[in-house]
Structures are given as structure tokens and as C-alpha cells.
Structure 1
Amino acid sequence: MAPPPAGDDVSASRVVLFDFDGVLLHGDAFHFFIRSRYARSWLRTLLVLPCLPWLLLQLPFSRRRAARTLVHVALFATGERRYQAQAQAFAVELVQHSRRFNRDALRQLRRHQQAGERVIVVTGCEQALVGGILEQLGLGDVELLASRLRPTWAGMRTGFHNVGANKLRALAGHGVTAWQLAYSDSLMDVPMLKPAAEPVLVNGTPKLCKKMDTALGRVVGRVEWR
């Protein structure tokens, strides 16, 4: 992905943050990727069977732990280079199904770019996958802060998960300490939305809008994008 602008251009540019899943994409890209791994390999599906007691035990208490187990099985024995190649191939495939993308959101992102603003996609999706998708969409120049996997002897495993307060840590590590506008569809992004001068909720239901207003202590901006 492109490096941030240098020098005075950074301080002069308005910083605009976009979440990815649920904002630029209808749905969860990494979920689609993992689901495709199981759909294409009956062997991986069989490997889940010994994990079922653990999954059933964890599911009522932590959906995240259960999901992590499914990810680890899906990526078992998959090295870093192989994973990156698979993520890139899936990105190409996903972008071919253009109906999965929010055209209004993509148009708005490009408007911010054309206005000379600094656009950063800050997402819980995995780095190689979302980076490949943005490149296929012609947005390879957009700055990206994403989740990262880590290579192990057993294959790729979950590493830094860029959600919630971790998005603030990622932004700080990227040298970004203030932003004017932030788009999200999720309460999990309250930490990212709260510091924004203009927080915007994308396609929020009335119930979600009310919860977001309460969490932020003010009325959040709203957009209906398709």
C-alpha cells in the first residue's frame, strides 16, 4: 500500500477514516475467504470434526474463540507465501462479484481523495486480503491499517486483531493522532469514532443509531449507502 504523504502535506490534509467490512463491502471479506476454504476442501471440513466438542463448549461464551479455531483449521499447513497467493486470488474473485461492494461508499471514498484529503482504511480484515481487494478496486494508493496473521509451524495463525481500541493503537503507530471524519457500521468502532470531529454511521438501524448516540454522547451522522 502507498506510504503516507510527507511533510506539510500531512498536516494540511483532512484525515478521513473508513472501516472496510460493512462499509465498503457488504459483509465480512475474511469470513467469505475462510468459508471458501472449507467449501473447496472436504478434508478441511473433516478436520473440524475433532474440534466440535471444543467449539460447542466455547460458542455460548466466546464466539471469537470459536471463530479463531475455525480460522486455524482452515489455514492449517498453509505457509505465508501460499496464504498470500491464496488471498490475492480470492481478492480477484471477490471483486468480480461487484454486487458485494457498496458503490456509494466507494464513490464517497474517491470524492475524499479527489478533494486532496488523506484517506485511511482502518479495518479488522486481514492485511494481505484487504490489500489485494483494494488493489483490484483501483484503490491501491489508499493507506491501510489492518489485522495481521503470523506464520507458525502449523500454518498461519491469528496475530494482531485490528478491532476496537486496537484501531487507536494502529493509528498511533502510524503517526495519526487526530482525524476529522470516520465512517463505520459497528459499535465496535466507538473508540475510532469518538475522537472524530464528524463520526458517521453507515446503514445503521434505528436501534443501532440510538446505541451509537448513547455510546458517543452525541448525535452521530448517518448515511444510507448501497
Structure 2
Amino acid sequence: MAIESAAEDPAASAAARVVLFDFDGVIVRGDSFTAFMRWHLRRSWWRLALCILLLPLLAPFCLVKRLRIRILGVFVRIALLGIDNERFERLLDVFVVDWVGRPRIFIRAGIRELRRHMQAGDRVIVVSGCEERLLRRIFDAIGLTGIELIGSRLREGRLGLRKDVHNVGRTKPQQLAAYGIEPPWDVAYSDSAHDIPMLKAAREAVLVNAGVETVRRVERALNVAPRRVDWF
């Protein structure tokens, strides 16, 4: 886990305000790991063909909310068949060079706010469902090094990489706690109602570019209107 990039002074880190940022939809547009998966599948015809063959069989199950993540996990497993850690990291290197150079990938206001908190001496932690090594490469590519990251993680299996930790929903506070970061945190930024567990534990919850339904769900869960921002 990339949380080892924390501030070098433990006392200073403990005294700083803790500010959490989601990644997809807050720092970048869209879903960065999904973008990597699509890029990888387009480069591997047999994996893409297998996904297309299974799509009509599995798509109806995506209508069941509790099964949706599992079905998506099947396609991730197919995309990563035969891929070990070394090859995965080589793929990330190639993907990130191409991806970060595309127009309108980054939400500039989100990056400015992240930098502002860092300059204010806050302890900034990006807590994302994106795979952790991909997160690190994206931040390194744009010159934002030394940021603490907690993301999803993959592990090697007999058939290739598979899910180890899927860092979404209730898992985010659990992963924070595993690294000694206990609630309440001072500020949490997110664009999604999936982050209600993280937002609920914040002294100040901030919704980024959130739609009406997301705002309604978060307000109901928090019993208070979160701060809302529109970032471009």
C-alpha cells in the first residue's frame, strides 16, 4: 500500500488536519481503472472476444445491484488472465504515458484544492477505488509526488492477477483504520454516494459535481446538507 509516503515527521502528521480526497470524479474525469481495462482489452483480441461472448450471459445479472460488482469482477479477471505483477506494471507504464497526455482528463480545480491543502500543512490522503499502483503512476506523471494513497489492490493467483482489496464504500474507512487513520477526519471530498461511509465520518463533507440524486442520498445519510462545489 502506498501509505508509506506519509509525512516523515510522525508528530507533525498527527497534529495536521486530515483531508481525504476521492480520485475518480474529483481529481480525474471518469473511471481511471476502467479506462486502463478498456485500453488493455483493445490490445488483446482474445481477451476482448471472450468478454464479448460472456456479455449477453452476464449483463442481466448487472441489474441486480448486489451482484453488479461481482459481474464486473469477472471481466477484470478475464482482462488480467496470465498477467503477473511485473507485466502489469509494464502495462501501467505504457498506459499512463498515453492517458495523462489526453485533453480534459484532469479536473484542474480538484488538483488546485489538493495542492492548497498540502500547502496549508494538512495531511492529504487520496482514498480511491482505483488500483493503487495506477494511482501512484498517475500522480508521479503529473509531478504530484509524496501524496499518501490508499487504493484497491490486486494479488497474484495461479491464473493471473485477481482482486485483493476493492477499496469502495465501507471498505474505505476500514482501510484507513488499518493504517491508523481513525475518524473523525476533518474534510472529505467525493462525487459519489458510494462514499457515504467516508463522508459521514468527516467533520466537513464536500460533494464535487454531484447530481441531484447523489445530493439527496448523501443529505439523507448525513442528516445535514454537505458543502457542494462544481469543479472543472
| TM-score, structure 1 as length reference | 0.95
Residues 91-102 of structure 1 correspond to what in structure 2 (within 5 A)?
Answer: 91-102=96-107
Correspondence for 1:175 among 157, 176, 180: 180
Using the TM superposition, give the Cα deviation of residue 50 of structure 1 relative to its aligned residue in structure 2, in angstroms: 4.9
Asked if structure 2 preserves the Cα contact closer than 8 Å seen for 1:127 and 1:145, the reply is: yes
Correspondence for 1:18 among 21, 43, 56: 21
For structure 2, the residue ranges without an aligned partner over 5 or more in a row are: none
Write the letter of the residue equivalent to 2:36.
Answer: F
Correspondence for 2:94 among 89, 103, 111: 89
Asked if structure 1 preserves the Cα contact closer than 8 Å seen for 2:128 and 2:167, the reply is: yes
- Number of the residue aligned with 2:200: 194
Q: Structure 1's 213 and 56: CA in aligned 2 closer, same or farther, altered over 3 A?
A: closer
Using the TM superposition, give the Cα deviation of residue 48 of structure 1 relative to its aligned residue in structure 2, in angstroms: 2.4
Output the CA distance in 1 between the equivalents of 2:42 and 2:62.
22
- Number of the residue aligned with 1:3: 5
Output the CA distance in 2 between the equivalents of 1:52 and 1:96.
31
State the SS of the aligned residue for 1:107: helix
- Number of the residue aligned with 1:122: 127
Q: Which runs of 4+ in 1 moved over 4 A?
A: none
State the SS of the aligned residue for 2:137: helix
- Number of the residue aligned with 1:103: 108
State the SS of the aligned residue for 2:23: coil
- Number of the residue aligned with 2:38: 35
Which whole-Å deviations, capped at 9, do the CAs of 1:84-142 have from their partners, x for residues lacking one?
Answer: 11112212221111411100000110011111111000001001111111111211210
Which whole-Å deviations, capped at 9, do the CAs of 1:54-108 have from their partners, x for residues lacking one?
Answer: 4135323222122111111111111111001111221222111141110000011
Asked if structure 2 preserves the Cα contact closer than 8 Å seen for 1:88 and 1:128, the reply is: no
Moved more, 84-93 or 109-118: 84-93
Output the CA distance in 2 between the equivalents of 1:125 and 1:183.
16
State the SS of the aligned residue for 2:104: helix
Output the CA distance in 1 between the equivalents of 2:57 and 2:156.
23
Asked if structure 1 preserves the Cα contact closer than 8 Å seen for 2:6 and 2:146, the reply is: no
Moved more, 58-67 or 196-205: 58-67
State the SS of the aligned residue for 1:38: helix
Moved more, 211-220 or 50-59: 50-59
Asked if structure 2 preserves the Cα contact closer than 8 Å seen for 1:30 and 1:126, the reply is: yes
Write the letter of the residue equivalent to 1:181.
Answer: V
Q: Quote the RMSD (CA, aligned, Å).
A: 1.5
For structure 1, the residue ranges without an aligned partner over 5 or more in a row are: none
| TM-score, structure 2 as length reference | 0.92
